[in-house]
Structure 1
């Protein structure tokens, strides 16, 4: 660790109109077995009594500091403000409706002390009434740069990193997509690598009304491109009919097995420390229990004079969506060969109908 004249850890918590329930989040930090921390609670122009509750907590524990900013309407601005104010050698994030178990910082620092620069821990989900709804499994803590490109792997409350890492990647960015996915990807592109553990040290709110569930997809993973809208809608209906589901599912499973085998043999593949399980076998079992519906969310969108059959993506940028499309096509060759055949069938059927 780099020497630091400040606290060892800076905890960054953006908040907006959380009111008294924020005390539960703050209490989960004051209860940490590690005591060498500061907590920067950034009120994003709160218009209720949130600031008063934070001030009340700060009077009891001066390690808690309230920072107030004009309304951004997005957590990235408050997080960047806190990064500029942070004095700790390690930055840890905590959303205002999540909590930590008392060993969270202890586990995080144990990874940092082993040389990690970017770390993530496991989680438990609880509904607004506090009832458990789900929990992370060890295989879900496996990591690879391609996993990072393809999906939102770790929520902010589960992540910590060495000071300066976020700024070197360009900091937190506002936008319509998942800002954590965007930042972790930019960190990955800059050479950072996650170290993970299976320990469930975070308790995340599972609430369909939370901001994450309200984010609308602005980008797409392209499945097929047509000159005519009727051909795109014909393929959409054909896929939704289930005619080719068995063949598509078999191709997808075979492609995924090959992909996971390749990643597991790659030196960049990360397993959670202390876990010796088989991620491919666990993922296969999870797939067996998952929904079998393949094409539920497809949409047809117009881009210039072309019509795209696509799956919506909640990533932050069009460039990211292009990278996802390219990687998925490379990793799913059997499936996309079948989809290309269906697309050609639909285009030919439309052309044949037009010639009659």
Structure 2
């Protein structure tokens, strides 16, 4: 009797009504320099001809499997079903509109060989015209649980982990977006540490029509409180005024330097493999490219008062609370500027400057 196929890497690709465009993603897996893999294309109840294109690829390559699921309307369900059927020692993900460069799995496996348990690589983003819109840098591949808490770093197509790791923290959760950030955060909370490589092995599709751009901002971090809505609106306008931009940028850079200096003293802080660059220079460069401060301020009524608040890009109230607590601890210079502006308008800053430890 033939032994069952036991691949080294299981690749999970959730898809819905992608039609022949799925062929490009499949081809990027088939073109890998590493050949010991299986590809599970998880059809989320497709109603078009996507499955026909997958079957055609599977007829040419026995490492490809089409798995049809009930309609979830969300990639987490198909990914969880893929985890249940995966047979590899390692699990990698690829979204149906992304592609890998031919060395992706080679880089991923080298990180595992060096002891990694969950790994991520660099990327380039391309738009519909094929133009590069952004790309990863070494600083953006530094990792620590606090960095993971504050930012949705590492899209699924860039990530792989030792099989069984995701299931131990409850697998993928459905929601209205950011399910990858949610899983990586739960893994970090459980003690998992990301190992990263600078190699830009993933090409991500960058388009306003993707789910990432449609994520609603349902949670907020209070910045200041007022009894008078007119004063609250005046402070919101003042915080956005370009007169303060240079001061806020300088404060943000100072806060980041102090924060990263503290993180570097811990065993959990990691830098991308082989990078011995200047973190101070990287922070300066990142600060110069950062968007204007307070990009998503809103004015909201709250129990008879009026809050100036920052909308947060996260999926749960518990996550929002953790972001708020960490932000207030690590952005003291920025909140000191806020407090000065708020004080002149008769409001109350959400957190006094100098409170909390960095």
Structures share fold, TM-score greater than 0.5: yes
**Deviations 1:238-257 (CA, angstroms, capped at 9, x unpaired):** 21234543433332222222
Helix, strand or coil at the partner of 2:20: coil
Match of 1:213 in 2: 213
Q: How does 1:141-220 map to 2 (within 5 A)?
A: 141-220=141-220
Tell me the distance in 2 between the aligned counterparts of 1:302 and 1:177. 26
Query: Counterpart of 1:48?
Result: 48
Superposition TM-score, scaled by structure 1 size: 0.92
How far does the alpha carbon of each residue in 1:192-235 deviate from its partner, in whole angstroms, 9 at most, with x for none?
00000001111111112111111111112221233443333222
The offset of 1:69, in angstroms, is 1.6
Q: Counterparts of 2:228 and 2:48 in 1: how far apart (Å)?
A: 52
Partner of 1:353: none
- Kept in 1, the 8 Å contact 2:137–2:198? The answer is yes
Matched residue of 2:346: which SS? Answer: helix
Distance in 2, matches of 1:202 and 1:348, equals 47
Distance in 2 separating the partners of 1:179 and 1:301: 27
Please list every run of at least 4 consecutive aligned residues from structure 1 whose deviation after the TM superposition is greater than 6 angstroms: none
Contact 1:177 1:314 in 2 (8 A): no
1:277-316 equivalences under 5 Å are: 277-291=277-291, 293-316=292-315
Alignment of 1:7-18 (within 5 A): 7-18=7-18
Give the alignment's Cα RMSD to 1 decimal: 1.9
Assess if the C-alpha contact under 8 Å between 2:15 and 2:43 holds in 1.
yes
C-alpha distance in 2 between matches for 1:241 and 1:106: 48
Structural mapping, 1:231-270, within 5 Å: 231-270=231-270
TM superposition shift of 1:70: 2.0
- Number of aligned residue pairs: 345
Aligned counterpart, 1:101: 101
CA pair 77-304 structure 1, distance change in 2 beyond 3 A: farther
Does the aligned pair in 2 maintain the 1:93–1:158 contact within 8 Å?
yes
CA 1:164–1:228: 2 relative to 1, 3 Å: farther
Gaps of 5+ in 1: 350-356
Name the SS of the counterpart of 2:270 in structure 1. coil
Aligned equivalents of 1:294 and 1:97: distance in 2?
A: 32
